[in-house]
Chain A
Amino acid sequence: MIDFGFTVSPSSRINLDEVDKKSFVALSKIEPDVVKCMACGSCSASCTVSQFQPTSVRKAILSLQNGQISQAMDFLKHCMLCGKCTMVCPRGINTRHLIISIQKIYGK
């Protein structure tokens, strides 16, 4: 490869045409409440870890829907499964259980 003295960053644009929806459908089967998220941010606000590491169930769900799987996993990798987010979710999503299911389906 010729060195032109500069690099081009890959596009970070979300392309919904290229999202593989199969895994998300599989996730919705065992976690039907995942689609109920209304992005209020209660989960991230209550998260103890999020004060130190980028951790957010809301952002993880959004990333999965947008087909950004590795980013989604990054938002959950520091989770300690304390379950505070489950307590505060106004839509009654069992976020703790959801996180475990996401790891099962998308985790390596």
Chain B
Amino acid sequence: MKKNILIIGGGPAGMEAAANLDRLGYNVILIEKDKQLGGHLAKWDRLFPDGVSAKKTLDALTAELSGVKCFTETNIQSINVLDKSYNAILSNGITVLADAVLMASGFDLFKAEKKEEYGYGIYDGVMTNADLEKAFREKTLPSKAPKAIGFVHCVGSRDEKAGNPACSKVCCATAVKQACEIKEVYPDADVYCFYMDLRMFGRHYEDLYLKAQKEYGIRFIRGRVSEVAETMDNRLLVKAEDTLSSKPLKVTLDMLVLMAGMRPSEAGRSVGRQLNLTTEDDGFFSSSDNMLAIQKSKLPGFFYAGACTGAKTLPDTLHEARSAALEIDRYVKDNFKEQ
């Protein structure tokens, strides 16, 4: 008889793990709280560093799911541990008896309005990275070209007061990518990136940074934006320190994009609380071993994949999903020997 695997979260991690477990011969139940699968990927336009289409990437992930039972707009109502399995009651009334569970709850974007000094939700010209992706996707950028545009790195990241001392890992590359893209739309605009450190760690990321400087003329200012105010003519007065010259700096912009960072998914954490899953200080789930077994939780038969154990890039998330599928396969074979 096929073993049941429950996957919580239908973003890239959940989808990739589901496809792999399906191919390994398991009965996979994938649940997603939103209307559609794909998580944040479904809301994005293009992906760093090469600008590949988010939609094409998502379509490729979706194409592998034909054998998987997907329930969208579905939450975990309750979940508890039985002798050797997990009993989950879903919000659609279905009860799942799973031999293993994979948590792929991912992340929530940091709520940029919490950084009140940046004026998100107060001034019209202030938006988040997700808002800008939506505007790229739906082609709803203003037709009146802005004269100057700014990007603020580390919004809700590396910020103890905002409750998140960690780096969100993907925002640097996202900001530089978006800065280039906005310059393509508005070639005459001055584009500034306000950064603390540029963490261009991945393959081709440094090329992206160089391209932003050389081909797009993006100006990088090392310093965190301290405050944003509105001018008489509804523009944005932005203040920061240029820490490379140790001088305060001001500039008037028409558009300011806040790079909201990654926070643990609230939906995922509420499932975690039901099973007393532990989290680390950063709020993300704690693995049984951060070096050797990041996909394993401290509960037997309960696994993790993707950003539910900390900020990750999309390729990292997909790798983890595949390795979690293998870990689950190994766990089931070791623990449920067929007669």
Residues of A near any B CB (own CB < 8 A): 12-17, 21, 28, 32-33, 35-36, 38-39, 58-59, 62-63, 65-66, 91
Contacts and interface: CB of A to CB of B under 8 A. Distances in A.
Contact of A59 (B217, B219, B245, B252): B245
Contacts of B252: 17
B139 interface: no
Nearest to A21: B190
Interface SS, A side: helix
Interface in B165-217: 190, 192, 209-210, 213-214, 217
Most chain B beta-carbon contacts within 10 A, residue among A12, A21, A35: A35
A16 B249 contact: yes
Given A14-B245, A32-B214, A35-B214, A65 B250 contact: no
A91 B210 CA distance: 9
Given A17-B252, A66-B242, A36 B210 contact: yes
A1 to B, nearest CB: 28
Given A39-B244, A66-B242, A16 B214 contact: no
Nearest to A14: B249
B33 interface: no
B137 interface: no
B222 A66 contact: no
A62 B251 contact: no
A75 B207 CA distance: 29
A13 B247 contact: yes
A23 B238 CA distance: 24
Contacts of A58: 244
B213 A62 contact: no
A95 B251 CA distance: 28
Given A35-B217, A36-B214, A16 B251 contact: yes
Interface of B: 190, 192, 209-210, 213-214, 217, 219-220, 222, 242, 244-245, 247-252
18 contacts: A14-B245, A14-B248, A14-B250, A15-B249, A15-B251, A16-B250, A28-B217, A33-B214, A36-B213, A36-B214, A38-B209, A38-B220, A39-B222, A39-B244, A62-B245, A66-B242, A66-B249, A91-B210
Contacts of A91: 210
A34 to B, nearest CB: 10
A66 B246 CA distance: 12
Contact of A13 (B190, B222, B248): B248
Contacts of B214: 32-33, 35-36
Contact of B250 (A13, A36, A39, A62): A13
A66 B245 contact: yes
Ranked nearest first, the 4 interchain pairs of A and B with the lowest CB-CB distance are A16-B251, A14-B249, A13-B248, A35-B213
A31 B39 CA distance: 44
A6 B249 CA distance: 26
A90 to B, nearest CB: 11
B170 to A, nearest CB: 20
Contacts of B220: 38
Nearest to A12: B247
Given A16-B250, A17-B252, 4 more contacts: A14-B247, A35-B213, A38-B220, A66-B249
Contact of A62 (B192, B209, B217, B242): B242
A91 B207 CA distance: 12
A15 B253 CA distance: 12
Given A36-B210, A63-B245, A17 B222 contact: no
A52 B190 CA distance: 37
A16 B148 CA distance: 10
A91 B249 CA distance: 26
A16 B249 CA distance: 7
Contacts of A63: 245
